[in-house]
Chain A
Amino acid sequence: MNFRSRWRKIVNAVMLTLTGLCALLAVSALFFILGYLVWHGGKALSGDFFTKLPKPVGEAGGGMANAIVGSAKLLLLASLIGLPIGFFSGVYLAEFGGRRFPFLVRYTTDLLNGVPSIVIGIFAYTIVVLPMRHFSTLAGGIALGIMMIPIAVRSTEEFLRAVPNSLREAAMALGASRWRTITTVVIPAAVRGIVTGVMLDLARVAGETAPLLFTAFSNRFWSPGWNQPTASLPVMIFTYAVAPYEDWHRQAWAAGLVLLGLVLLTNVAGRAILSRGMSVQRP
């Protein structure tokens, strides 16, 4: 028995250590990624990166100003499309609705969330690029907008549901209509959560590359308006990384650092908003 209990203790210690190592290994991936990008990207990053257009192959220097503006425009358009749809659907799911139809909406939302981003790209291609017969910022924005819907729906619903019912009842007892209750009591109480959801959503689509490849395509120059192909940071990283030019690789590192920095900062800021002075506990 003595041997057996010692054996069990050894197994216990070994397995605890092993699982700890697994966690350590998984977590260290982030520090490796960050460190490597800061090291390589930092060397390549300069003021030119933010202000100049890409140079043709063979000429050193240049930047990705057009891609930065392109990404911003794509995200703006995507937010204009995806966030309202997501927000109001979330309000519907949390505040109105019976049994069957909301279930269907939730189910479809999850389904849409699971669709690979490249398939969303093809969808946007068939509904926008094919009829218009050319690539455009518009098509890219629509593709990203569709990708934003599911997370916006689910986060809005989740945070509205977290608002205690007593608040709703109190507002209604004072004679407020249902809609007035929602707009003046429920949504303000959940606003931090909803803003967090929006920021996480933005951070997620900001790095999406696959849906842009054949919607926004790419562009070596500025893309005025919404009707022409546009460069974007993620697509630039892809193109520059797989190209065989040393100078392009450096630019890709710089772009990677900028993109990852923005994505992670947005992500952390979103979570910070939620955790600081939270008016409503997350469910």
Chain B
Amino acid sequence: MATAPIAVERPGPGWGPRALLRRFRSGDEIAHLVTLLIASSVILITSLLVYELWVNSALSRHKFGWAFFFTRVWDPIFEHFGALPFIYGTLVTSILGLLIAVPLGLGAAIFLAELAPPRVSDALTFVVELLAAVPSVIYGLLAIFTLVPLLREHVEPFLRATLGFLPFFRGPAYGVGFLAGGLVLAVMIVPFIISVSREVLLAVPADQREAALALGATRWEATWKAVVPFARAGILGSIFLALARALGETMAVTMVIGNNPQISASLFAPGYSIAAVIANEFTEATGDLYLAALIELALVLFVLTFILNGLARLLILLTTQRGTAHE
């Protein structure tokens, strides 16, 4: 419904010189041209962004090549740069965030879209939308003073005592580290998963769930076996969208991940993420190569989020179109 072009016919007959003159006098073609030019500027800005990232990272791309992605060393003094610890940190925190946020967000979305009475659902959805508007630096601020001490004093010692036989839960409890980063990300992406999944679920045609209920399914069975499978692609899309957001999330992660470029199996250990190293070191980067390496990291981030967003949009479009095609 939102994508159908508006079906108002253009006024004015044809493209003859007289007709053209009349069009220009009425201002229509000028308005068309001006808005077209402004709309093109969006494309121009985005292309310029890609170009600037590419050109300004040239130094680092030429010097390190593909090895940039497999090198564990990050040494600004001897100008040797490898992205592996940051890629690792970004992936670990994002995946950890997803593992917690997906079940939680999906459960809440199912509740809001399928089970809650409309008034409750509207009120809760409003709160979820507000939650999505909370700036990331606020999440970081809260996490530093609540989550990190909680992890250090209680959660991490507890995990070590009970699950310490696993390599993920070993080593000293610092509070800051992969675990803290992942948890903050989880809290931050839950609202996105909820609002996108909810919309996808609402796009599932009503006869889908009515048919299941008519066959004697319980509310839950109708939801889980008829509605959710129908919306599967869209839900996957919402997860990709959330993952893209988690990968690029900067402030909150920077504040709690510990800022130490190391690769460690233990989730308690301090780490570093791509966005965090850019945020922390960009203004202090002396030397062109250092700067280029940081900009190459930004390029990596851009490419990753670009791919994920594209996939997500495609999946969501598939589901919502299938939904409306049925009606």
Contacts and interface: CB of A to CB of B under 8 A. Distances in A.
Interface of A: 8-9, 11-12, 15-16, 18-23, 25-27, 29-30, 33, 36-37, 40, 84-85, 88-89, 91-99, 101-102, 104-105, 108-112, 114-120, 122-123, 125-127, 146, 149, 153, 158, 161, 165, 168-169, 172, 177-180, 182, 200, 203-204, 206-210, 213-214, 217, 234, 237-238, 241-242, 249, 252-253, 256, 259-260, 263-264, 267-268, 271, 283
Given A108-B43, A177-B28, A238 B133 contact: no
B244 interface: yes
B215 interface: no
Given A12-B220, A180-B27, A207-B135, A122 B282 contact: yes
Given A172-B8, A178-B11, A179-B26, A105 B39 contact: yes
Interface of B: 1-2, 5-8, 10-11, 26-28, 30-32, 34-36, 38-43, 45-46, 48-49, 52-53, 56, 103-108, 110-112, 115-116, 124, 126-131, 133-142, 144-146, 187, 190-191, 194, 218-221, 224, 244, 247-251, 254-255, 275, 278-279, 282-283, 294-295, 298, 301-302, 305-306, 308-310, 313
Given A112-B45, A117-B248, A203-B133, A242 B35 contact: no
Most buried by A among B2, B126, B190, B250: B250
A217 B251 CA distance: 15
Contacts of A283: 1-2
Given A9-B218, A122-B278, A177-B26, A116 B128 contact: no
Contacts of A114: 244, 305-306, 308-309
Contacts of B218: 8-9, 11-12
Contact of A168 (B6, B105, B126, B136): B6
B135 A117 contact: no
Contact of B43 (A22, A27, A105): A105
B279 A118 contact: yes
Nearest to B25: A177
B282 A213 contact: yes
B190 A26 contact: yes
A122 B11 contact: no
Nearest to B6: A165
Contact of B36 (A21, A92, A99): A92
B113 to A, nearest CB: 10
B79 to A, nearest CB: 20
B5 A99 contact: yes
A12 B145 contact: no
Contact of B107 (A22, A98, A120): A22
Q: Which 5 A/B pairs are nearest by Cβ-Cβ distance?
A: A207-B135, A116-B248, A22-B107, A92-B35, A177-B26
A177 B251 contact: no
B135 A26 contact: no
B11 A116 contact: no
B248 to A, nearest CB: 3
Nearest to B295: A122
Given A8-B218, A91-B35, 10 more contacts: A15-B224, A22-B105, A26-B105, A27-B131, A97-B39, A108-B46, A114-B244, A122-B294, A146-B45, A259-B137
Contacts of A177: 11, 26-28
A213 B53 contact: no
Nearest to A175: B11
B138 A207 contact: yes
B141 A252 contact: yes
A19 B301 contact: no
Contacts of B255: 238, 241-242
A258 to B, nearest CB: 11
A23 B207 CA distance: 25
Given A117-B248, A122-B278, A149 B42 contact: yes
B46 A111 contact: yes
A241 B140 CA distance: 9
Contacts of B115: 16, 19-20
B251 A210 contact: yes
A256 B138 contact: yes
